């Protein structure tokens, strides 16, 4: 089962690289910055065990803060901003 999931994941990425043209302009900047905030939001979700999932207001705050922190191009700063946003939003909501 694990090998099948890995093959599907790798196969879909290879197909996307081979068949789709690379993004240009603003889309390229977004694609380049997006993985770190998504990783920060997923890390916050797994560390806190939030039952609300990705629709939880605190999770959305974590994603927003992490997205704002990508201007420094540091995964550590992005993760810290995402976790800080999650903690602050958890205290508010």
Instruction: Record the tokens describing residue 51, joined without a space.
Output: 């039952």
Q: Supply the pLDDT for residue 88.
A: 92
Residue 60 inside a domain? The answer is yes
Expressed as residue numbers, the domain containing 35 is: 25-92
Exposure class string for 53-71: b at 16+ Cβ within 10 A, else e: eeebebbbbbbbbbbebbe
The band of 19, judged by pLDDT with boundaries at 50, 70 and 90, is confident
In a domain, 35, yes or no: yes
79 domain-assigned: yes
> Does 50 map to a domain?
yes
What is the pTM for the complete model shown? 0.51
In a domain, 72, yes or no: yes
User: Quick one: DSSP state of residue 50?
Assistant: -
Q: Check pLDDT > 80 for residue 57.
A: yes
Distances, alpha carbon 85 to alpha carbons 2, 19, 65, 66, 67, in Å: 34, 37, 6, 8, 11
Domain count, the chain: 1
- 44 assigned to some structural domain: yes
- Judge whether 58 lies within some domain: yes
The DSSP call for residue 23 is P
Per-residue pLDDT at 53 exceeds 80: no
């Amino acid at each position: 089962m694990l090998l099948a999931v890995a093959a599907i994941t790798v196969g879909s990425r290879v197909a996307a690289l081979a068949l789709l043209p690379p993004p240009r302009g603003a889309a390229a900047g977004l694609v380049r910055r997006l993985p770190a905030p998504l990783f920060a939001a997923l890390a916050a979700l797994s560390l806190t065990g939030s039952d609300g999932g990705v629709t939880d207001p605190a999770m959305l705050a974590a994603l927003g803060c992490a997205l704002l922190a990508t201007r420094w191009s540091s995964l550590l700063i992005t993760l810290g901003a995402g976790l800080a946003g999650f903690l602050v939003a958890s205290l508010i909501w």
